[in-house]
Amino acid sequence: MKRTAFFISDGTGLTAEALGNSLLAQFEKIQFERVTVPYIDDTTKAAELVIRINKAAELDGGKPLIFDTIVNNDIRAVISEANGFMVDIFGTFLQPLESELSSSSSYSVGKSHAISNESNYERRIHAVNFALDNDDGARTRQYDEADLILVGASRSGKTPTCLYLALQYGVKAANYPITEEDLLDEKLPEALRPHKGKIFGLTIEPERLAVIRNERRPNSRYSSLKQCMHEIEEIELLYRRERIPFMNTTAYSVEEIATRIMVTTGLQRNR
């Protein structure tokens, strides 16, 4: 049996989506059709959505699940008339929170998703620009300014992780690819030595690395399993010798890699 799940918000819908997906992940046997509906910020839009939810109920032969993070009571009241099963975050928790805090909620639409203040926003954009400027050790190497320097073999996941750290946490992360040439030295690359305390290493299963590299440069020495095995072995040796904290990224998403780096290094979330 199929069920439709609606993630509904007066803002971007990201919170409703994250929350809904975390609950749905617990029901593996059921096939969910996921629909995100952002910017439901007046009762007219809500009423149109009710029609859509009721249609899904008919088609599925079961109530759609509704995960909403709408703050306004009037809009939520309209949604609650739909033929659905409502997981109503604000309706459930706002009133108890008001009691606990002896303070009334502002019930302001969109506010729930208000992204930080201006300075946080700018910090994140700066961090993105920093990550781009300091990508692959190529253009600039503003390592004095960096919060973190990610190192690892080419294609081990450094760039997406740096960008995620910047966008999500406002962390300035540079990255430096450890090349074969660097490994000949059997020492930490010179550019990195003054910044040892900021370095975090990534490693990856050689088999996986070979697959990833093959997409970029098929059938090359660079993407051969033999070459990948050699580089990874040497890089892990380097990490151990220099006591650089590192993690294997093979089984993890970008979100998880970034969060584990934050935890391991004790970096603060700049949001």
Between 22 and 179, CB nearer to its own copies: 22
Q: Which residue has the tokens 């509906």?
A: 37
Amino acid identity at 118: E
Residue 22 is labelled as binding a ligand: no
Candidate residues 89, 183, 204, 228; the one interacting with its own copies per rule CB under 8 A: 89
156 is in an annotated binding site: yes
Q: Does 82 count as an annotated binding residue?
A: no
Answer for which of 168, 203, 223, 227 binds its own copies (CB under 8 A) is 168
Residues 72 and 56: their CA atoms lie apart, in Å, by 24
> What residue spans of the chain are helical by DSSP H?
14-24, 43-60, 73-79, 89-101, 118-133, 158-169, 180-184, 206-216, 225-242, 254-265
What's the min distance (Å) between Cβ of 51 and its own copies? 18
Using the minimum distance from each CB to its own copies, give the nearer residue, 60 or 236.
60
Q: Single out the residue of 53, 104, 59 nearest to residue 80, CA to CA.
A: 53
**91 binds its own copies per the rule CB under 8 A:** no
- Nearest distance, CB of residue 129 and its own copies, angstroms: 8
C-beta of residue 5 within 8 angstroms of C-beta of residue 67:
yes
Output 132 or 234, the one with its CB closest to its own copies.
132
Among 46, 53, 56, 71, binds its own copies (CB under 8 A): 71
Angle at 261 between CA 186 and CA 28, to 5 degrees: 125
The β-bridge partners of 33 are 4
Q: Which CB atom, from 50 or from 167, has the smaller least distance to its own copies?
A: 167
As a whole number of angstroms, the distance between CA 178 and CA 266 comes to: 24
Of positions 73, 116, 142, 220, contacts its own copies by CB under 8 A: 116
Instruction: State yes or no: residue 46 binds its own copies (CB under 8 A).
Output: no
Q: Is residue 97 close enough to count as binding its own copies by CB under 8 A?
A: yes
Q: Which residues are annotated as a binding site?
A: 152-159
